[in-house]
Amino acid sequence: MPGSIRGLRDRFRSLPSATTMPPGTYRAVFVGPALLRFAAPRAIALGGMPRWYGKRVAGDGTAANLLGADDGTLREHLPIAVATGPSWLDGRPAVVVSYGADGPIPWRWVRDEFRALDERTLLGLTFAGGPWSRVAASPFVLVRDDPRS
C-alpha cells in the first residue's frame, strides 16, 4: 500500500465504489507518513476517544466507535450512522460514516468514507468540516477482527 497521503488518496480513488460495510468489529490501523501515524491516535484521544480501537458495525445502518478498556475488553462509545453517499474525494459511491449535527465537538464535523481493499480490509479517509477538506483528508485502514466484547 502506498506510504504517502497522496498515494493513499489515489488508491482510494482506484477502488470500486462501495455501497455496504459488512457488520462486524473493525480494528483501526494508521497508515501513511510516520508523522500522521504518530499524530492521528493522539488527535483522536484529544477529541474524547482515548484508546480508540476502531468501529463496530451492526447490520441496521448503525455503528459505534470502540475504545479499549483497562481489562482488555472493548466498549462502545459515540454512536455513528452508516450510509452510502457520494465521496467528497471523487463523487463516486462510498460508505459514509458520520456522527450527526448533534454529535459532540469535534465529531459533528467529521466524516469517514470507506471502500474495500478486500473482504476484510477497508481503506478509509477522514474529512473534517466539509467537502473542501478533501485536500486534508487523512487515510486509515479498518481490518475486520473476530468479534470481541
User: In the chain, where are the structural domains located?
Assistant: 5-143
How many whole angstroms separate alpha carbon 83 and alpha carbon 2? 27
pLDDT exceeds cutoff 90 at 136: no
Scanning the structure block, which residue is given the C-alpha cell 470507506? 114
How many whole angstroms separate alpha carbon 42 and alpha carbon 102? 23
- Predicted TM-score (pTM) of this structure: 0.88
Output the CA–CA distances (angstroms, integers) from residue 44 to 99, 107, 115, 120, in the order listed: 14, 10, 21, 23
Q: Which residue has the higher pLDDT, 103 or 67?
A: 67
How many whole angstroms separate alpha carbon 44 and alpha carbon 49? 6
pLDDT exceeds cutoff 70 at 148: no
pLDDT tens, position by position, 86-121: 999 999 999 999 988 888 888 888 999 999 999 899
All cell numbers assigned to 90: 471523487
